Structure 1
Amino acid sequence: MANDTIPTLLYGDRKLAAGLSVGGCLIISIATCLQKAAHLKSDVGHLAFLRSHLWWSGTVLLFVGETASFCAYAFSTVAFLTPIPAISIVVSTMLLLFFKMDYLHWTHALGMAAAVSGVCLVVVFAPSFDHQLITGEYIVSRFLSWDVIVYLILEVQALCILLYIYHKKIFQHYAVILLLVAILGSVTAFCTRGVMALILLSAMGDMQLTHSMFYILLICLFASVFFQADFLQQAAEMFGPCRLVAGSYISITVSSVLAGEVFYHEFNSSSILHILLFILGCLLCFSGVLLVTWERRKAQELLPFTTSGAIQGVCPPLDVLQMAEVQQVT
């Protein structure tokens, strides 16, 4: 396939990217609810749920959903995909209400409406394609540019300071962990975008998998996901998972969108109006997630949580906060 046909196929399919991301979120929501049901029905014992068909069905669906969300990054930008996992929290809440595992509160209805409206604005007005073809050489050139170098220096310094504060227990607050997760989430976002773009480009005939940058991004991706999961697990044990849902979603979304702009200049061709409407959509998503989780934080009820965007985004691909709450249930 000729190289001049690659950009349209790579970056022009807004519907395919949105479909993969939203579909992944829906599947993940169903999967986490199945896993919760399996844990609630299982006998006393931490490993009793492994004998449940519900739990294994949820695990398979979780893998499928995360794979779909991951593949969406081959077709669109970080800014376009990162806010979409708000849909997962909305669907999870609806499923809990449908199966009478939770009660309806006015904040739930208002939050779900705000989150859905915000995602619609993001899908319509976010930049859906990069105007520069993402190749291994292009990524190398971006890493050598002054803006990315300054960004990486500041991010590494912030990460080191936060790690020192966290391990020395100078200031024990969940905001410290949220900032750590946000920094790692930004790494996950731009690495996922680069890895998937290189894979798709290779599948179209322009081989990029032999480029060293592909493997560097892949290693950084797995490392950032692992440490995100570890920090979220520790935070869930200390502060409770429900308290972290909205905070982690908001912090990771903001840091990922910023990273996408710094590394790939995703908003270069966007008008001021489109940028403002995109920001409005993100604010609606943030307020919606806050409202949906507000009452549940008080009761410490389980809210299945995803990061598809993360590989959301956004958030690590494993539902760390949900599994932490499940351990409390069992």
Structure 2
Amino acid sequence: MAMSSGAVYVGTTVSSDNLKGFILAVVSSAFIGSSFIIKKKGLKRAGASGPRASSGGYGYLLEPLWWVGMVTMIVGEIANFIAYIFAPAVLVTPLGALSIIVSAVLANFLLKEKLTKMGILGCVLCMVGSTVIVLHAPDERTLTSVQEIWNLATQPAFLLYTASAIAVVLVLMLHCTPRYGQTNMMVYIGICSIIGSLTVMSIKAIGIAIKLTLEGNNQVTYFQTWVFAMVSITCIVIQLNYLNMVSTSS
């Protein structure tokens, strides 16, 4: 009977953590989706008086509205980061698609960008896809140290994927961006998407490390924690840079 009660308790805890992660991920999507629109308005203002971000200009750094959007995005990313601490990545990550819907709706009202039938279809597909994945999200495997994550991340299959992702990103950055970036936003979107897959992994690792540390199992002393932190920071900076270029590309 005691074992049965314990199992119920564990199951309830897991379910509660998933709910917290779900709510945080939804809130995060709302903030991040809004930040794209606010930042784009700031980028347009900056581009009216100097080089556009898609052309390599950084005048938007002096635009207050862009910084309002950046702060909004940071709040959303913090909520997203905490969501990864509580819930599995397979539950949190798909909910990021909701930010697309928020951006599309706000763009229609604030930027006067008409939402076409294909855009509406895309939003519906985002909602359906996110719902299906969330409803079938598996329980997360319990990890006891960041070293376990490191062992998983250094498996040959994942190392091969990481090397392939980095190679593709370098080709897009060094070859495709100078030639096609200003006329085809898919170059920038491709860079952000591929880098994003590595961001999710590293952010999840940092989240678990923080959770374990707060529970009394200190992970700060492991060098793997700092490697994941550096990977996270690098990936986020790259994504922010190219997201700004997406917002101003023609």
Smaller-chain TM-score bracket: 0.7 to 0.9
Q: With structure 1 as the length reference, what TM-score do the two structures score?
A: 0.57
Q: Highest relative contact order (Cα 8 Å, sep 6+), 1 or 2? A: 1
Which residue of the partner structure matches residue 55 of structure 1? 66
1:130 maps onto 2:140 in alignment: yes
Q: 1:158 to 1:85 in 2, by over 3 A?
A: closer
AA of the residue aligned to 1:137: Q
1:113 to 118, 124, 145: 124
- Aligned equivalent of 1:217: 228
**Aligned with residue 22 of structure 2, among 6, 11, 18:** 18
Taking structure 2 as the reference length, the TM-score comes to: 0.73
C-alpha contact 2:169 2:195 (8 A) present in aligned 1: no
Q: Is the 8 A contact 2:206 2:225 kept in 1?
A: yes
Larger helix percent: 2
Alpha-carbon contact 1:11-1:130 (below 8 Å) kept: no
What amino acid is the match of 2:163? Answer: V
Any stretches of 5+ residues in structure 1 without a counterpart? 230-315
Please give the residue correspondences for 1:1-330 in structure 2 after superposition, counting only pairs within 5 Å: 12-40=16-44, 44-46=48-50, 47=59, 50-52=62-64, 54-99=65-110, 101-127=112-138, 129-143=139-153, 148-153=155-160, 155-156=162-163, 159-160=166-167, 163=170, 167=174, 184-226=195-237, 229=238, 316=239, 318=240, 320-321=242-243, 323-327=244-248
What percent identity do the matched residue pairs reach? 23
| C-alpha contact (below 8 Å) 2:44/2:248 kept by paired residues | no
Change (3 A) 1:165 1:199: closer
Counterpart-to-counterpart distance in 2, 1:141 and 1:48: 41
Q: Which amino acid aligns with 1:142?
A: L
- The Cα of 1:23 is off from its aligned counterpart by 0.9
Matched-pair contact (CA < 8 Å) for 1:6–1:201: no
Mapped to 1, the partners of 2:94 and 2:39 lie a distance apart of 24
What CA deviation, in whole Å up to 9, does each residue of 1:55-91 have, x standing for no partner?
3322221211111112211112222222222111111
* Paired residues of 2:192 and 2:242 also in contact (CA < 8 A): no
2:4 maps to what in 1?
none
The gaps in structure 2 that reach 5 residues or longer are 1-8, 51-58
Cα distance in 2 between the residues matched to 1:62 and 1:115? 20
Q: CA deviation at 1:130?
A: 1.8
Using the alignment, how far apart are the partners of 1:84 and 1:16 within structure 2?
13
Count, aligned residues? 229
Greater shift after overlay, 160-169 or 206-215?
Answer: 160-169
Query: In the TM superposition, what is the alpha-carbon distance from 1:99 to its structure 2 partner?
Result: 2.9
Counterpart-to-counterpart distance in 2, 1:83 and 1:14: 14
- How far off its partner does 1:202 sit? 0.8
The 1:95/1:130 distance shift into structure 2, 3 A limit, reads same
- CA–CA distance in 1 between the matches of 2:74 and 2:18? 23
